[in-house]
Amino acid sequence: MNQDKKKQQFPEVFPHAKWTVILLINGENDLMKEVEEAYNQLARVGSCLGDVNFVVIFDGLTINEKLGVMHRSCSLEDQAYPNVYYVTKYRNLTTTAQPYRSYRDKDNLAKPGNLELIIREAVHSFPADHFGFIYKGHGGAGRTDIVSDIFRVDKVRKFTDETDHQLLERLKERAGKKWELDANSYLMLTKDNDVLLAIYKMIDKGDYRELTYASMRNELENAGFKGEDKLSFLCLDCCWGQIMENAEIFSNTTKYLIGSADEMPVMGIGYEEFADFLVKNRDIRPDELANGIVAVFFKNNYDDYMSSPKWEHIGVSLTCVDLEQYQRVGPKVTELCNFLIQNIEPLYLVISMARHVCLEYTNDLNPSDYGIYNIDLIWFLENLGYFNDEIGKICPSEKYRELSALITSVYQSLYGDFISSHMSSNYDFDSSNYGQAHMGGNGIGLTFPKDPDQLRNSLYGRPNTTELKIPVWEQFLTAYATTHAMVTAYDRNFILALHVYCLSHFYTEDVSILQNVVLEYMRRLSVAPVPKWEKKSVSSANEASTGAKSPADKKTALAASRAQNVIDPSLISEFKKTGVKMNGNGGPASTLRQRV
């Protein structure tokens, strides 16, 4: 008899184990095939009764049988609502796995209380000494991709010689008036990539909800994971999960937080190796397992950037932080932020130049499309200290010495207390060459919009995001945006030109040139009009202060900022007054090396 066809029999409550790892796997998106494979990787090892439980909460797309798709989670309607699985060896999700419990009336996991109930019942059914929690899906600015959208999926055949652009346009035409093509729009199903599923979502969202990281925290804590009973580890297996805002959010929910500051490889941490590692080391301590996940991930994905020419410039990283030590680093970050807020005008040049050389972890994607604006915290601190020291030599002040001490304090606490383990690859640059534009690759992200318009588009500018923010950092970003608007009110290209000249001449012996530029900044700051800028109208204030009249102007300004060595010729005469040397084309006497 084929053993796989036997109906699985489950006890109401499983024997007490050493570890229960709960995985929230979201298949209600374009990652459907990948998350199924993640489950199947777990099933190649399976749970170990009485020692290690792997429990999966899986929610897939609603796809009717008539579509004729040849894998189970796409073809059966019972996958369209949350199911809890006890992962058994050799029982794949696509063939023979059977739900331990189904939740037909809890389809919307973004609705408060639904995920809490499922987790609470899983904890009761799978008792253990230690609990871990993994989220597998898409990640964004303060949120997962678990939403209350209603999806529709169509089976489509790609025409011969049809380009991807033509295909997308045709899919959009099929949407009709009530539906829109999802941002991650389709899934190829055949080897020749000629049959696909187009994913649409309903335009009229109605009572729209999304599972933010704060919502996830609330669901976990309401299920019992908080304080003395917090999780042993929480892994955000998604893009941009390791960010300081999430450390603030989950500081009372879990001992260790694991995530990537960068874009996460689609297959995640490597679930077969993770399961094998835990089953073979079932007596492992929470700190050892949390750091072990970093090692397992790096073993499997250190060369992920080689998987396709499309990803060859993308870094690979994973970081584990000790949230029980957040109480040490948090106050030091607060002290630094308060000092920057109190001295925002004289220190704006130092701050803005440090921010200017920090590239976002969105890589070649438009950061405004995601609204995350995440930079590397440690690379920012290193450059903040560098520019502070350099400008402090020109304009001696006690403020620069105080700032240097505060930066050092935060930096030492991050490495000495907070970061438990970190591994990265493909961030090849001279980490001591401060002042160069780079992503950093040090494993801890931070939301830092560079201007008022970005602030408005970020989680710090969106409504109903209070729980997602670090309060003192929000105060700093507001002060920074206000000062930015004040400085650029004098000349919309001034800051760009100032950055280029300062960065160029930091590598020359002529200190007087840099001194003249810095003094020119101080002069402009003293005579600049104070704009009427409020948090609720950041966009309009930015347009007024920068003089941007059209999307084309904004696009041109963005391109100039990215290039970092393009200067408006109208500024040439202005900067000649400061004694800055120009080359024949009106650009800086020397340009910066930038890794693109």
Q: What is the pLDDT of residues 39-50, one digit of tens each?
A: 999 999 999 999
- Cβ atoms 440, 427 nearer than 8 A: yes
Place 485 in a pLDDT band, splitting at 50, 70 and 90.
Answer: confident
Distance CA 592, CA 433 (A): 12
Distance CA 498, CA 567 (A): 10
Q: Which long-range contacts (CB under 8 A, 24 or more apart) does 94-103 make?
A: 94/36, 94/40, 95/4, 96/4, 96/5, 97/39, 97/43, 98/7, 98/8, 100/10, 100/55, 100/125, 101/125, 102/78
Q: Do 381 and 307 share a domain, yes or no?
A: no
- Is residue 502 predicted with pLDDT exceeding 80? no
The total of other beta-carbon atoms located within 10 Å of residue 437's CB is 18
Q: Identify the DSSP state of 415.
A: I
pLDDT value, residue 520? 62
Query: Lowest mean pLDDT: which of 150-154, 265-269, 569-573?
Result: 569-573
Residue 232 domain-assigned? yes
How many structural domains comprise the chain? 3
Beta bridge partners of 17: 128
- The burial class, CB within 10 Å (0-12 / 13-18 / 19+), for 532 is exposed
CA 544 to each of CA 102, 132, 368, 450, 557: distance values in angstroms, whole numbers, following the listed order:
55, 50, 20, 16, 14
Domain's final residue, options 298, 327, 356: 327
In angstroms and rounded to an integer, the radius of gyration of the C-alpha atoms of the chain is 26
Residues 6+ apart with CB under 8 A from 206: none
Distance CA 223, CA 390 (A): 51
Among 284, 236, 279, smallest CA distance to 260 is for 236
Q: What is the pLDDT of residues 115-139, one digit of tens each?
A: 999 999 999 999 999 999 999 988 8
**Angle, to 10 degrees, between the axis of helix 511-527 and the axis of helix 377-394?**
100
Q: What is the pLDDT of residues 423-455, one digit of tens each?
A: 998 887 666 678 788 888 999 999 999 889 999
Q: What is the pLDDT of residues 232-286, one digit of tens each?
A: 999 999 999 999 999 999 999 999 999 999 988 888 899 999 999 999 999 999 9
Query: Lowest mean pLDDT: which of 27-31, 56-60, 165-169?
Result: 27-31
Residue 54 domain-assigned? yes
What domain range is 194 assigned to?
151-202
pLDDT value, residue 402? 95
pLDDT value, residue 29? 67
Residue 446 domain-assigned? yes
- Cβ atoms 323, 232 nearer than 8 A: no
- Cβ atoms 308, 444 nearer than 8 A: no
Domain's final residue, options 292, 327, 362: 327
pLDDT value, residue 156? 74
Give the phi and the psi of residue 352 in degrees, each rounded to 5.
-65, -35
pLDDT value, residue 106? 80
Distance CA 472, CA 459 (A): 14
- Is residue 586 predicted with pLDDT exceeding 50? no
Side chain identity, residue 78: D
- Cβ atoms 74, 42 nearer than 8 A: no
Place 514 in a pLDDT band, splitting at 50, 70 and 90.
Answer: low
Give the phi and the psi of residue 437 in degrees, each rounded to 5.
-70, 125
Average pLDDT along the chain: 78
- Cβ atoms 504, 590 nearer than 8 A: yes
Q: Do 291 and 251 share a domain, yes or no?
A: yes
Query: Lowest mean pLDDT: which of 47-56, 118-127, 152-161, 403-412?
Result: 152-161
pLDDT value, residue 230? 97
Beta bridge partners of 102: 83
The total of other beta-carbon atoms located within 10 Å of residue 177's CB is 6
- Is residue 507 predicted with pLDDT exceeding 70? no
Residue 107 domain-assigned? yes
Residue 592 domain-assigned? no
Select the more confidently predicted residue: 339 or 66: 339
The total of other beta-carbon atoms located within 10 Å of residue 448's CB is 24
Q: Do 255 and 131 share a domain, yes or no?
A: yes
Q: Strand (E) positions, 74-202?
A: 83-86, 101-102, 128-136, 143-147, 151-157, 179-188, 195-202
Q: Do 476 and 528 share a domain, yes or no?
A: yes
Q: Do 357 and 496 share a domain, yes or no?
A: yes
What's the angle, vertex CA 569, arms to CA 568 and CA 574, rounded to 5? Answer: 95
Residue 336 domain-assigned? no
pLDDT value, residue 108? 83
DSSP-assigned letters across all residues of 41-67: HHHTT--BTTTEEEEEEEEE----GGG
- Is residue 76 predicted with pLDDT exceeding 50? no
Distance CA 532, CA 538 (A): 10
Q: What is the pLDDT of residues 163-206, one digit of tens each?
A: 877 877 787 777 777 677 765 555 554 445 566 666 666 655 55
Q: Do 134 and 9 share a domain, yes or no?
A: yes
Place 479 in a pLDDT band, splitting at 50, 70 and 90.
Answer: very high
Q: Do 169 and 60 share a domain, yes or no?
A: no
H-assigned helices in 395-470 = 398-413, 452-457
Among 575, 591, 304, smallest CA distance to 437 is for 591
- Is residue 162 predicted with pLDDT exceeding 60? yes
Distance CA 318, CA 296 (A): 10
Place 78 in a pLDDT band, splitting at 50, 70 and 90.
Answer: low
Burial 291-326 (b: 16+ CB within 10 A, else e): bbbbebbbebbbebbeeeeebeebbbbbbbbbbbbb
**3-class secondary-structure state, position 157:** strand
Beta strands 143-147 and 151-157, pairing class: unpaired
Q: Report how far Cα 370 is from the mean position of its chain's Cα atoms.
A: 9
CA 194 to each of CA 74, 94, 157, 326, 403: distance values in angstroms, whole numbers, following the listed order:
18, 22, 6, 50, 59
- Cβ atoms 283, 227 nearer than 8 A: no
For CA atoms 284, 289, 293, 294, the dihedral sign is negative
- Cβ atoms 328, 334 nearer than 8 A: no
pLDDT value, residue 518? 63
Q: Do 443 and 314 share a domain, yes or no?
A: no
Mean pLDDT of the 62-70 span: 44
Q: Do 303 and 389 share a domain, yes or no?
A: no
Distance CA 553, CA 546 (A): 10
Q: Report how far Cα 17 is from the mean position of its chain's Cα atoms.
A: 33
Domain's final residue, options 327, 362, 390: 327
Q: Do 38 and 115 share a domain, yes or no?
A: yes
CA end-to-end span of the chain: 59
Beta strands 143-147 and 52-60, pairing class: unpaired
pLDDT value, residue 548? 35
Residue 540 domain-assigned? yes
pLDDT value, residue 191? 46
Mean pLDDT of the 380-403 span: 88
- Is residue 501 predicted with pLDDT exceeding 70? no
Mean pLDDT of the 516-536 span: 50
Q: Do 416 and 535 share a domain, yes or no?
A: yes
Mean pLDDT of the 78-95 span: 83
**Angle, to 10 degrees, between the axis of helix 213-222 and the axis of helix 114-125?**
40
DSSP-assigned letters across all residues of 338-375: HHHHHTHHHHHHHHHHHHHTB--TTTTS-HHHHT--EE
Can you read off the two tokens belonging to residue 248?
């603030």
Residue 247 domain-assigned? yes
Q: Do 286 and 382 share a domain, yes or no?
A: no
- The burial class, CB within 10 Å (0-12 / 13-18 / 19+), for 399 is middle
- Cβ atoms 190, 182 nearer than 8 A: no
Burial 556-590 (b: 16+ CB within 10 A, else e): ebeebeeebebbbeebeeebeebebebeeeebbee
